[in-house]
């Protein structure tokens, strides 16, 4: 049992609000795939999937073990594994996960497994590279893929998809439209020659916001589900889902000239009251937040981090705050605080969220 007093509370009402916000942007028949990879963007992918099971059409994870954890929790909703590896294909079938086949090596390996098992019409997904240049077949691979698929009934293409490279950047509008058009061309070739019509999806969170006409059959909601729209106005319409809390373990009274923390990074210039909090860089806080670049909230007042962030603890200045040992500490509980942490850490909110350590207790409220 995890008895760490530092807790990440996952706001179920906020999750539902965000999901419904994107739903109202969609056509009635457009399906929703909820992305719960990376432990649900630093929260808890299993708990989030359990909560959303009857509210979405699909889940997506990055790796096989993430999907297995969700299956083992009893979730029956289809799960797309975005980046499967050949050694995991047997486990994918065992747990009824659905692989993304993105090049001929894994494509042929899975078809061989499907033939030897044998499987019948097992759902697969095929990804095409339309400009992100990360994973995916090229459009020139279409004839060979279709020819191979026509020779087997062991698999069936559940969806064709691609990924936008810059859907949040309006200055890349032409590039994004070109990606969408290329994907539409790929889909036409499959619809014309395959003999049936797989689902199509290319839009991510920012894609839903900026290119709603390209919904096709399904959209993938990732960061938007957790309260961020990659756009200030969109984010204002969403609710924060991650609330990281702790407590004050000890209070110290520091005299002028005394120091706090490793390398004596903080030197008191006046009588200072400091509070030690059991959360550190092993819990996901960047060391760049030290030395007054970051802050926490104690009794609704900002307490700046002093000295270097330790592995398991931070110390904050509470000289002007009425507080005591055991009082609650808010590391973050809104989008503004998360943005401030990301900026001070010289990174993006994605990294701030997914950096939250697995030793932090996660509770869906």
Say whether 262 is catalytic: yes
270: exposed, middle or buried (Cβ count in 10 Å: 0-12, 13-18, 19+): exposed
Q: Of 100, 225, 219, 238, which Cα lies nearest the Cα of 164?
A: 219
Residues 262, 301, 302, 324: which is the catalytic one?
A: 262
Residue among 21, 37, 295, 362 flagged as catalytic: 37
- Cβ atoms of 302 and 333 within 8 Å: the answer is no
DSSP 270: S
Q: Helical H runs in the chain?
A: 12-23, 37-42, 45-52, 64-72, 89-94, 104-116, 142-150, 173-193, 205-210, 232-236, 335-344, 349-354
Q: In 3D, which of 330, 332, 335 has the Cα closest to residue 226?
A: 335
DSSP helix, strand, coil percent of the chain (3-state; round to 5): 35, 25, 40
112 given a catalytic annotation = no
Q: Which of 222, 230, 233 is nearest to 169 (CA)?
A: 230
Catalytic site positions: 37, 262
């Amino acid at each position: 049992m995890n008895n760490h007093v530092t807790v990440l509370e996952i706001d179920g009402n906020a999750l539902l609000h965000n999901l419904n916000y994107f739903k109202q942007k969609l056509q009635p028949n457009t399906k929703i795939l909820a992305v719960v990879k990376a432990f649900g963007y630093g929260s808890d992918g299993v708990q989030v999937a359990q909560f959303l099971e009857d509210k979405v059409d699909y889940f997506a994870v990055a790796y096989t073990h993430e999907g297995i954890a969700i299956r083992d929790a009893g979730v029956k909703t289809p799960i797309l594994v975005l980046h499967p590896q050949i050694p995991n294909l047997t486990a994918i079938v065992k747990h009824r996960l659905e692989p993304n086949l993105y090049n001929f090596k894994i494509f042929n390996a899975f078809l061989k497994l499907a033939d030897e098992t044998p499987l019948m019409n097992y759902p697969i997904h095929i990804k095409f590279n339309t400009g992100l240049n990360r994973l995916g077949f090229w459009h020139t691979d279409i004839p060979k893929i279709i020819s191979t698929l026509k020779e087997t009934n062991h698999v069936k293409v559940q969806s064709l998809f691609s990924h936008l490279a810059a859907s949040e950047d309006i200055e890349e509008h032409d590039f994004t439209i070109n990606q969408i058009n290329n994907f539409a061309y790929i889909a036409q070739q499959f619809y014309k020659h395959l003999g049936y019509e797989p689902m199509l999806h290319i839009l991510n969170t920012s894609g839903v916001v900026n290119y709603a006409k390209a919904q096709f059959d399904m959209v993938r909601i990732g960061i938007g589900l957790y309260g961020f729209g990659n756009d200030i106005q969109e984010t204002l319409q969403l609710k924060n889902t991650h609330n990281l809390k702790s407590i004050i373990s000890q209070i110290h009274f520091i005299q002028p000239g005394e120091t706090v923390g490793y390398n004596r990074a903080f030197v008191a210039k006046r009588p200072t009251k400091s509070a030690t909090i059991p959360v550190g860089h092993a819990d996901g806080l960047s060391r760049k937040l030290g030395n007054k670049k970051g802050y926490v909230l104690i009794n609704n007042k900002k307490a700046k981090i002093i000295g270097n962030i330790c592995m398991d603890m931070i110390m904050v200045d509470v000289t002007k705050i009425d507080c005591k040992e055991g009082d609650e500490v808010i590391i973050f509980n809104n989008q503004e605080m998360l943005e401030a942490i990301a900026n001070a850490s010289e990174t993006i909110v994605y990294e701030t969220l997914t950096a939250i350590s697995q030793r932090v207790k996660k509770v869906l409220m």
